[in-house]
Structure 1
């Protein structure tokens, strides 16, 4: 074995995301960045996700044309019937099926082509056991922000000190109030299965070789200092959607247009509608891919938007409202929508947020949506649904001064006032704050920026894993 030592095979990285749209989309951006660095990628994806990408996007064709056999998909079942909703009600079933099949999956992949490392979703750290058994390094990729991760990490201490479970309506005298804690912490029993699951997944991360966040140092510097005391190998490589565009542009010499990897049919007619609107005059409304609401909540939002007098672009997924029938809205609201609003089933969100007509974003405060809005310099009106979103909305409003928090409220009058605060009364104040964060985010993913350099470090560290593994085979 002579020439092989000086020219080993490229690193082979297996990506193992939780199979919901937001996690797959962001993880795929990181996977493509490593593929650009010369790595071989195997991307584990559910049959449902794979079929959705094939049906609604050109992602599979584009990746195949760009990277051929260097970026391949491993399609696996998620345990649900094809027509079953991939909503939060069924996430446990998907998790259980993935956990059951992880051992055979990684043995198969490692047998076909030795795996340099696994980059696993932070929700599926059960894969650490299999990785250790096979002697494969594993890196955890958390799809939440560092603030939420740090909160989860401290939940055992909060239980020990009596801050959890929350008792009655009291609030802690601190920046983070009880109402701002992630939704999983809003339980009466500290032994609640989901709370215990979150604790276990977070603490398991300490067994991984490294931890990756989709953020940038300037945004989360203080909390990252705390995290790094317990997790020395932390890489901050975001905002990934912008980072990928810049790296692709460096390779191609032209600005790259990366298509959103949507599990829903994108309606691009909204771009033509936005083109006809004045600058910063539209509030974009989208509650992500999992949020569910009642019809009463929907109508509360609707009345608030219409009564505000502002233009709006609203994404209403087919499954957003349980039992909702299209076309059943009151006639007066449909008329008001035609006058000042536009509605689609799904929108190209990155493109919408970067459009000059968009002046604010009514959002569920998912981490991806939050970052996309910050990069675009668009202030947010936050209505969090679950998981990390309650905390994200608090940080947006109080730490970054990038918007308003409408947590746990769906009142048309409050909605109307907050929309006008963002779009009229305090417009310049919020645009100033988001503009500064937008510049910092773009600087971070520009060559020489903190996220650019962190990704370079991650690339070199994975190469070192490959070199070490290769020497062990000699």
Structure 2
């Protein structure tokens, strides 16, 4: 008679992957799930009901229960999909009330996730781990409660993780609140030097006691208690920061995690309906178009947006500008200056959302005015588009340092605040002009080759991913054997 314990040990390992409910975190989480499934895992992918509702409302979906992982993403993927509440009504405006939302994510959402994990573990005895975004505050506790490994998914640069890991050092030296030092930071291991303006926005705030800060610091603490950390970066891209992090915790750089080489949008993952800009781009000269997008979450003041609009108008360049309905506020769906749309209609289009990869890969695009989100940074490098940096929130200020100071593949939009239309116009023309474009593209091509090399069969990211899978499977067998013997 077959031993049931042997059957459990021979079953395909099962992972629970919990995506953080923001667009910039969902996209790489979906790619991670697909990659894990291709390596022989079965998965349950957990999304929030609110995000599911927004995506299915904005995209034509044949099967809303499997829309992330349908046939367009490859056959035979063993991925189940489920949703849980984040503790707020589906139609509640999280953008307008983001502190309430952070509170729910910290205090209510974890209970819903825990109930889901309990049900999954009961029905899937081969469950070995919870994979949760590193912004989660609950993951280590839930994983430990059910005897599972906790795999933290870091969706930002290794440099950012390294800085977060040295928060106590920054406090001791007075470079973050309640300190007031503004001189260069030269004592963080793996970092030659930083300006205080290169720190993440949460470290630049005078008040670091808000619910948002509580969430961030609790999440970093929780991530450092994980058994493994997967990073959406490339070790050759950030060699010094990667080595410092790996000396402290089991960190596996496995990026870049985006659908390189796939079609222009087969997967329904967008919170807003996408407008196809391809036909318009086809009419424009090579390298003549500025793509402008400030991401899926961060807000901008009406004054800044108006100044940027006037700078774009003054520059005279062709452009595509993504303006979300809540970019300034949900209460101000069209914050552009009066008459701006009419004045630039001959050389620009303004859309609520578009397929960023399709735009960046088009030969007419010569520059990207960006908030410096990590996904946007990697995608722009992949498609060899130089960047014009206007960070707004979180890690974007640190990413700007990498782009402008370390890799030298872009400019700061404005050196001083508040932003001024004259400097904006000058920087746009500088980015798009032939000489600067060529200079940047020579450098950006070298960095792209690092990304390309990393994801080959012999590349560092692929080897790191295989090492993680092997280490997890070995650890799971040991843990399961111990559990069965006891």
TM-score w.r.t. structure 2 length?
0.88
2:238 is paired with a residue whose SS is helix
Aligned 1:269-288 pairs, distance under 5 A: 270-288=277-295
Structure-2 separation of matches of 1:260 and 1:404: 33
Structure-2 separation of matches of 1:225 and 1:15: 26
Structure-2 separation of matches of 1:324 and 1:336: 21
Task: Provide closer, same or farther for how the CA distance between residues 406 and 95 of structure 1 changes in structure 2, counting only shifts above 3 A.
Answer: farther
2:224 is paired with a residue whose SS is helix
Q: Which residue of 2 aligns with 1:252?
A: none
Q: Which residue of 1 aligns with 2:149?
A: 137
Tell me how far 1:203 sits from its aligned partner.
Answer: 3.0
Equivalent residue in structure 2 for 1:63, among 63, 69, 83: 69
Aligned 1:74-473 pairs, distance under 5 A: 74-87=82-95, 88-89=98-99, 90-114=101-125, 115-165=127-177, 170-172=182-184, 174=186, 175-189=193-207, 194-231=212-249, 233-242=250-259, 245=260, 259=267, 261-268=269-276, 270-322=277-329, 323-326=331-334, 329-331=337-339, 333-406=340-413, 408-424=417-433, 426-471=436-481, 472-473=483-484
Task: Provide closer, same or farther for how the CA distance between residues 350 and 328 of structure 1 changes in structure 2, counting only shifts above 3 A.
Answer: closer
CA contact (8 A) 2:137 2:215 kept: no
Q: 1:76-127: per-residue Cα shift (whole Å, max 9, x none)?
A: 0112222222324433323322223343232222112121111111011422
Superposed CA RMSD in Å reads: 2.5
Q: Which residue of 1 aligns with 2:42?
A: 40
**How many residues are matched?**
462
Task: Provide closer, same or farther for how the CA distance between residues 409 and 258 of structure 1 changes in structure 2, counting only shifts above 3 A.
Answer: farther
Structure-1 separation of matches of 2:289 and 2:308: 15
Structure-1 separation of matches of 2:282 and 2:461: 33
Q: 1:316-348: per-residue Cα shift (whole Å, max 9, x none)?
A: 1111122435497432x3233211111111010
Structure-2 separation of matches of 1:396 and 1:163: 23
Structure-2 separation of matches of 1:221 and 1:380: 22
Structure-2 separation of matches of 1:461 and 1:257: 34
Structure-2 separation of matches of 1:384 and 1:104: 37
1:207 is paired with a residue whose SS is coil
CA contact (8 A) 2:69 2:77 kept: no
Task: Provide closer, same or farther for how the CA distance between residues 327 and 147 of structure 1 changes in structure 2, counting only shifts above 3 A.
Answer: closer
What are the ranges of 5 or more consecutive residues in structure 1 without an aligned counterpart?
A: 250-254
CA contact (8 A) 1:56 1:264 kept: yes
Task: Provide closer, same or farther for how the CA distance between residues 299 and 433 of structure 1 changes in structure 2, counting only shifts above 3 A.
Answer: same
CA contact (8 A) 1:305 1:416 kept: yes
2:372 is paired with a residue whose SS is coil
Q: Which has the higher helix share?
A: 1
2:345 is paired with a residue whose SS is helix
Structure-1 separation of matches of 2:480 and 2:241: 37
2:464 is paired with a residue whose SS is helix
Q: Which residue of 1 aligns with 2:189?
A: none
Structure-2 separation of matches of 1:274 and 1:462: 46
Structure-2 separation of matches of 1:311 and 1:380: 16
Tell me how far 1:285 sits from its aligned partner.
Answer: 0.4
Structure-2 separation of matches of 1:82 and 1:197: 22
1:351 is paired with a residue whose SS is helix
Structure-2 separation of matches of 1:184 and 1:420: 32
CA contact (8 A) 1:48 1:78 kept: yes
Tell me how far 1:173 sits from its aligned partner.
Answer: 5.6
CA contact (8 A) 2:309 2:336 kept: no
CA contact (8 A) 1:53 1:262 kept: yes
Task: Provide closer, same or farther for how the CA distance between residues 419 and 327 of structure 1 changes in structure 2, counting only shifts above 3 A.
Answer: closer
